[in-house]
Amino acid sequence: MKTFKITFKLYLQLTLLIYSVLVSFFQSSFAEPKGEDLYLENCAICHGTDGQGGMGIPISLDDFLKSASEDYIKKTIRLGRPNRIMPSFYWMPESDINKIVSYLGSWRKSPAPIWDSKPVKGDQLAGELVYKNKCASCHSENGRGGKGSGLHFSRSNGMIITPPALNNQGLLNSAPDAMLHYIISNGRKDTPMPSASTLGLSKTDINDLVSYIRSFHLKSIIHKPLYSEEPASLIQESPYSFDETVENVKRAITGSNFVHIRDQALTSGFDIETKDSPRQTIIYFCNFSFLYDALKIDPRVGMFLPCRITVTEQQDKVLMMSINPKHLSQLFNNDALDESCDQMYEVYSGILEDASL
């Protein structure tokens, strides 16, 4: 009888536990997601869990929030920043965007601004001159912005925050003139952006600058053509034997100012029998200066590191192959990185060509 009581008690406890687990599961599965959850799910990877910034800009910064209206944030989420890392959340339901905006509102120390949509009247040509003298050193010519991602923690880039691209159509479609005017007038505390008074700008200069920045605004967002025709891998047949090809590749790597790091079999490091496998040698190489610059521009590029060319024997053919950086550049939504990917494409193609001459 005693055993039965203990068993029954245990059974009851387990049933209650399962019930509570089930209730919590169904609540979590079918409840509407909260703004915080949506933020953590979609934004925190780049902007940090508390908005402190990372690959993305620090959006919990008081001076950022002072200038960012709810409408600006909504449009920014929807449009992203084409070719500047921040993706477009075109697929996100309006209600979810509103929840994120509302969650960001909990970080505000003052009410969200509401900007007038009226254009600021200024002299565009005069603004161009002011821009060249006062703004271009950080924001680059024609408003291209600084190279790199939001904050630079570990890969020094001269400035802690990458100056934004003022010619970006995502920005220009989200920020009204009044907002640009406010930012230029007040600067942004805790960032390298100085105020107009620090820069010695008059009220007319500010209006002219806004007018010049607005001149970058196009009627529609032009999406650059993707390398959709580019194959995922670069593959070239070698007229030489397997061993000769490996040596040729190494020689071509050195000739391209890259350092040969090591060779290894594709399955090296795995506990498997390889005697019947086709011969496959991976040749790793690097140019540290190039690597450092690429990581400064976009730390995500590491997922295709290190540089490597594989030589393999397939049905009496010797093949050399690598990733295709031009194809991969499409993944990053980062114009600045495209230049590096184009350079790497030239390097890879050159090595493959040299090794097969």
Among 36, 40, 105, 251, binds other proteins (CB under 8 A): 40
Length of the chain: 357
Rounded to the nearest 10 degrees, what angle do helices 335-356 and 242-255 cross at?
130
Q: Are 47 and 57 in contact (CB under 8 A)?
A: yes
List the structure tokens of 135: 């703004």
Side-chain half-sphere of 43: how many Cα atoms within 13 Å? 29
CB of 4 to other proteins, least distance (A): 10
**Does position 90 bind other proteins by CB under 8 A?**
no
* Tokens read off for 64: 């950022």
How far is the first Cα of the chain from the last one, in angstroms, to the nearest whole number?
Answer: 89
Choice from 21, 23, 114, 226 touching other proteins (CB under 8 A): 21
Binding segment for other proteins (CB under 8 A), chosen from 65-73, 213-221, 314-322, 334-342, is: 314-322
Nearest to other proteins of 120, 309 (CB atom): 309
User: Is 14 an interacting residue with respect to other proteins (CB under 8 A)?
Assistant: yes
Indicate whether 233 belongs to the interface with other proteins (CB under 8 A): yes
Under rule CB under 8 A, residue 280 binds other proteins: yes
Residues 6+ apart with CB under 8 A from 357: none
**Residue owning tokens 């393999």:** 312
Which residue from 87, 113, 194, 350 is in contact with other proteins, where contact means CB under 8 A?
Answer: 87
The DSSP secondary structure of 293-304, one letter per residue, reads HHHHH-GGGGGG
Residue 267: what are its φ and ψ, rounded to 5°?
Answer: -95, 10
What SS3 state is found at 35? Answer: helix
41 touching other proteins, by CB under 8 A: yes
Region 136-175 residues binding other proteins, contact defined as CB under 8 A: 153-156
- Tell me: does residue 31 bind other proteins (CB under 8 A): no
**Chain centre distance of CA 349:** 26
CA distances 228 to 222, 232, 323, 326, 335, Å, are 16, 10, 15, 9, 16
| Cβ-based nearer residue to other proteins, 137 or 233 | 233
Restricted to residues 243-262, the positions that interact with other proteins (CB under 8 A) are 261
* 271 touching other proteins, by CB under 8 A: yes
Q: Is 222 in the site for other proteins (CB under 8 A)?
A: no
Does 266 bind other proteins (CB under 8 A)? Our answer is yes
Residue numbers at the binding site for other proteins (CB under 8 A): 7, 10-11, 14, 17-18, 21-22, 24-25, 28-29, 40-42, 44-45, 48-49, 52, 54-55, 87, 153-156, 232-235, 261, 264, 266-272, 274, 277-278, 280, 286, 288-289, 291-292, 295, 299-300, 302-306, 308, 310, 312, 314, 319, 321-323, 330-331
